[in-house]
Amino acid sequence: MGAGPAGVYAADILTKSDVDVQIDLFEKLPAPYGLVRYGVAPDHPRIKGIVGALQKVLDKPSVRFFGNVEYGVDIKLDDLRQFYNAVIFSTGASCDRPLDIPGIDLPGSYGAADFVSWYDGHPDAPRTWPLTAKSVAVLGVGNVALDVARVLAKSADELLVTEIPPNVYEGLAASPVTDVHVFGRRGPAQAKFTPLELRELDHSPSVEVIVHAEGIEFDEASLAAIRSDKQVSMIVKTLQEWAIRDVGSRPRRLHLHFLEAPVEVLGTSSVSGLRTETQELTGDGNVRGTGVYTDWDVQAVYRAVGYLSTHLPDIPFDHVSGTIPHLAGRVLDLDEVPIPGVYVTGWIKRGPIGLIGHTKGDALETITSLLEDLDSLPRAASSPDANHAASSPDGSRAASSPDGSRAEDPSDASHTEASRDAIVEFLEQRAVPFVTNEGWSRLDLHEMALGALEGRERVKVVSREEMTAISNG
């Protein structure tokens, strides 16, 4: 389930194996690519370029795309087993991890994932966003935190060259924000963002990046990390340089605070401030509170403390780690025994850590297990003459039929086509308005045509109904 990077990479590896395979990728959204389309900031064209490689996989004759099909709503695990010998769940992680501090549920306190969905034009996100705060706090020092802070601080006109839809531009253009404060609980050597992401903060002509020097401290573990890790060294060097430079006169300011842990969101009816406790390093890269508190005058708080996967119907789930229990990608039941023909890959397998490229290693491990299990895979009820495996990320499923040899009898070929049509008939009988490869191509071309009218690469269509209507002609 899911047609984000995890599912597409799994499909790609399957197509490159020695097994004759047919793959169906199911996605709950009308468009593929998962977090590449709906989780990466619009001013990251380099990362967005990954879609070219993903599309090449979708273009393979053995791969079909079924968009706008939601697992647990439009189709169940028992249904999938009728059509496929194996199912791979790769539904990713799209929810915000909670932060248990007083006041976190006040109006004006938001999850970063929800805000990212809004500015990326996710069809299930609200069309408007309450951008009324002059001073904003962002909690966390990962790449998502910096994305959120950068989008909040930049002028809307700077983002108008990207694919943001009109409602997002209008919302950002009306924002009165002047200051965005990013808070990290630990020191600069423990920051989770990348050097590239950090340096991009300083590229905006309208945003002054200010590093507060009192948080630039290092302990023994920090110094060891700086010496051994080139990325950490680059991050620390950049932050140190920014901490001692003169503050310029750009109209908006983005503040970076380290060794400040959020302990309470202040306010009664809505957010009126944030209280943090100054931390000190303990020698091993961890921190402890000093008992020194600061109240910051902010009117909105965004928590970017991690993503979280959601529990899927009929599939075991570890609610502590937010992952599906598995053994090398084989989904385990409550007795820790592999469930025949059911696999997992991506963030719902390993947790929401690592960059997109790390997903390939996950997919390789899972597909290796699937191929090792070929002889013992359950037979799909709709295709008794062929093995079928299904794999999918972010809400899609990939159906594959590893059929070791080709029968010479023409009736075998017609049976294979009939079995592939069975899932189409199933979805049509349930009146599911699914989107095919051809439908996605129509939507893709439509968005690029909208962009061409404004001198942009594309302009996203936001409404699910409009997306499916365009896809289905």
Query: What are the strands of the beta sheet with 300-303, ordered from one edge?
Result: 109-111, 300-303, 135-139, 179-184, 252-258, 207-211
* Helix residue ranges per DSSP H, 84-194: 112-119, 143-153, 156-159, 166-173
Q: Does domain 5-92+312-434 have CATH number 3.40.50.720?
A: yes
- Comparing 7-21, 99-113, 331-345, 374-388, the range with the smallest average pLDDT is 374-388
Query: Contact at 8 Å (CB) between 300 and 109?
Result: yes
- Comparing 43-47, 217-221, 223-227, 298-302, the range with the smallest average pLDDT is 43-47
CA-based angle 417:420:424, to the nearest 5?
125
Token readout for 222 is: 């920090």
The distance in angstroms from the start CA to the end CA of the chain is 25
For CATH 3.50.50.60, the residue range(s) in the chain are 95-307
Token readout for 365 is: 């491990």
Fold of 95-307: FAD/NAD(P)-binding domain (3.50.50)
pLDDT in the model for residue 383: 52
Q: Which helix (H) or strand (E) holds 121?
A: none
Share of the chain above pLDDT 70, in %: 92
Query: Contact at 8 Å (CB) between 36 and 5?
Result: yes
- Overall average pLDDT of the 389-395 stretch: 44
pLDDT in the model for residue 397: 39
Beta bridge partner(s), residue 84: none
pLDDT in the model for residue 45: 73
C-alpha distance from residue 364 to each of 108, 160, 200, 368, 371 (Å): 42, 38, 32, 6, 10
Distance CA(337)–CA(404), nearest Å, equals 27
For CATH 3.40.50.720, the residue range(s) in the chain are 5-92+312-434
Residue-wise pLDDT for 49-84, tens only, equals: 789 999 999 999 999 999 999 999 999 999 999 999
Q: Who's near 91: CB < 8 A, 6+ residues apart? A: 1, 2, 71, 309, 310, 312, 346, 348, 392, 393, 394, 395
pTM score, whole prediction: 0.90
- Overall average pLDDT of the 378-404 stretch: 48
- Overall average pLDDT of the 216-243 stretch: 97
Q: Who's near 365: CB < 8 A, 6+ residues apart? A: 328, 329, 345
Residue-wise pLDDT for 287-345, tens only, equals: 999 999 999 999 999 999 999 999 999 999 999 899 999 999 999 999 999 999 999 99
CA 227 to chain centre: 31
Token readout for 37 is: 């389309």
Question: Sign (positive/negative) of CA torsion 257, 104, 43, 92?
Answer: positive
